[in-house]
């Protein structure tokens, strides 16, 4: 499952023989902190956004090599800069040997099924990529600004909206080789399928 490296790396450094079983299965980490995703998206200069993604991915590879592949990462890519995102996708899943890619459920407020992102998903499909979708704050929902409702409520429904748009836009048919991973049990999607079938 995706984890924060700061949570795991001390365990690796200080583990005892009795703790070895805790790390018996490979672990994956990524920039699951939404702030990291948003910083990458807010960078308006393509080269800056690409450099940030490269730095993150190079770090993941260093950790993976250090721990003999027992820890690996999902790559960061600089969407919404599509050409740069494709370039880093090719590098990260090719020579860098990372296991997949992380995307926000929306990219600067734009849904993943936006036509401008199709070339990226086309290449991800060609590579048979795994894409981990991390929730973001849904766009234009000012009522979530108070009480910390954005992560408590908004994230769940950002994932739900992303799932619905992926299904209804036909992305699964267009890109059948992409494997999507949904956190938080897919948001509210499992509970709304009955409505979707009649919608």
| CATH architecture type of domain 27-185 | Alpha-Beta Barrel (3.20)
For residue 118 the two structure tokens come to: 């199709």
What is the predicted pLDDT for the residue at 127? 96
Average pLDDT, the chain: 80
What is the pLDDT confidence band of residue 190, given thresholds at 50, 70 and 90?
A: confident
Length of the chain: 199
**Which carries the bigger pLDDT value, residue 11 or residue 84?**
84
**Which carries the bigger pLDDT value, residue 180 or residue 38?**
180
Give me the residue label for tokens 């672990």.
27
What is the predicted pLDDT for the residue at 108? 84
Domains in the chain: boundaries = 27-185
What is the predicted pLDDT for the residue at 120? 97
What is the predicted pLDDT for the residue at 180? 96
> How open is the CA angle 34-40-44, to the nearest 5 degrees?
140
103-115 pLDDT, tens per residue? 999 988 899 999 9
Q: Is the pLDDT of residue 169 over 90?
A: yes
For residue 112 the two structure tokens come to: 């993943």
58-75 pLDDT, tens per residue? 988 888 888 776 777 889
What is the predicted pLDDT for the residue at 196? 81
| Cis bond upstream, residue 7 (ω within 30) | no
Percent of the chain surpassing pLDDT 70: 76
> How open is the CA angle 44-49-52, to the nearest 5 degrees?
145
């Amino acid at each position: 499952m995706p984890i924060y490296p700061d949570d795991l790396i001390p365990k690796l450094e200080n583990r005892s023989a009795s703790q070895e079983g805790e790390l018996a299965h490979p672990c994956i980490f990524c920039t699951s902190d939404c702030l990291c995703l948003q910083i990458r998206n807010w960078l308006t200069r393509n080269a800056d956004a690409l450099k940030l993604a490269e730095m993150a991915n190079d770090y993941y590879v260093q950790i993976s090599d250090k721990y003999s592949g027992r820890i690996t990462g999902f790559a960061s890519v600089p969407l919404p800069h599509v050409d740069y995102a494709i370039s880093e996708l090719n590098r990260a899943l090719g020579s860098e040997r990372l296991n997949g890619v992380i995307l926000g459920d929306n990219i600067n407020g734009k849904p993943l099924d936006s036509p401008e992102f199709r070339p990226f998903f086309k290449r991800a499909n060609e590579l048979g990529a795994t894409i981990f979708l991390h929730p973001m704050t849904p766009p234009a929902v000012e009522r979530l600004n108070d009480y910390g409702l954005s992560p408590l409520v908004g994230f769940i429904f950002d994932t739900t909206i992303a799932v619905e748009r992926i299904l209804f836009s036909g992305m699964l048919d267009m890109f059948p080789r992409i494997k999507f991973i949904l956190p938080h049990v897919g948001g509210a999607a499992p509970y709304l399928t009955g409505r979707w079938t009649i919608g």
